[in-house]
Structure 1
């Protein structure tokens, strides 16, 4: 079947012959699918939005953390639900880390995806998306955020919807830029004093897909892995799952999951047959 989501999607989700509806998309789209699927109690597997926190502790390998976070932010121009969307940095290393992060973001090469220069990042998917990213950054600036790198559209190309890799500071936990998914190359950064504070700030969000911690302390890593309310926690690495793992969100980031053995089981039904044999 071909057609728009509102037409084909409704037909599939409301059909009594559909066994499962699987979606990777927005929270809004997931809510609509759940409403439509409820008519026939059709099973759904939803991988929705994310607002992934990255926690950087004072004992972290800072170069590794910077490279991993920036790589995670600019892959597909930030249009991946796994992407690092906010960074919490321990106060004792904040200034040093911010300088390193700013330099790395400034060095990101943005070009036409069809060029031969192997760019790090290209355009966003549509005019609507680049407008949304731009509006969120402008709103953050009105709320007091400061732009360290980027903060505007890129106009060096004659076509495409480009937005500069952007680093924001002076942000607060209740700001839209911290709470809502940007889905673009924008990275707000905040300080924290203790690991428990960083975990509390990370969990203060309606999403629960991916998260990360950068630390050389095993006890900190294990504590954060247990307390972070996210389906995935990456340790000292870029935000991106392995296909043999189980990719699943908590809270408004979805139901069910994909990848690996447990992802395959989402598409199976269990049946038990009881046969009594008498000789």
Structure 2
């Protein structure tokens, strides 16, 4: 799974700009990098541009009438901007969309097998990949014969991640995986993703509103506001930053990440 780029980054975005419907500027000059084998968080409030950034990487902008109009997008040293989403999946890029989108009428077993079809692997390889998913997510193995629509929210999120793993990715992008889940489930899922990262060298780009949970498992974070990256630091430095503590980690004024959309106070990270 390891990339061979000279600078050690599997994914790089340089000054990327995205426009919807030819007029609405969604992200403005975004630059970020995901190291080979690294875990990076992309943080920000609703509407900051986080999901748009992921779709720019996975190639899912066009169905929503979005397009990259400026900047460079490289994966493993290659320009991927003109590749179709399916081609990006074959290169090793996979996005787990917000909302746990699984085939509810199928069992977890059937969901996993269906997800492997995009890579065209043989039956023996499908079984090997499926068993690997069950090793990481034993709950899914216990529920493998149930309809996915009857799984709990946490189990459906595990299945969504398991489906992504069936494509044998090199970069796993997770869009708000904690949404609607109890804190203990969030911690469990994030620790499993961290174990996959450490065991297999899988690079992870994690989009989250739950900054506290995200910063516990990643090495670095980017903070987005109004379509721009306004901060890039190590996870430890971000946790110590007083503005991050106040607005995103539940500071003394009681404001949290889900409530804040605009910041009226001076941003120390911009000074």
- What's the TM-score, normalizing by structure 1? 0.32
Which structure exhibits the higher relative contact order, with contacts defined as CA atoms closer than 8 Å and separated by 6 or more residues?
A: 2
TM-score by length of 2: 0.32
Bigger Rg, structure 1 or 2: 1
Normalized per residue, which structure has more strand? 2
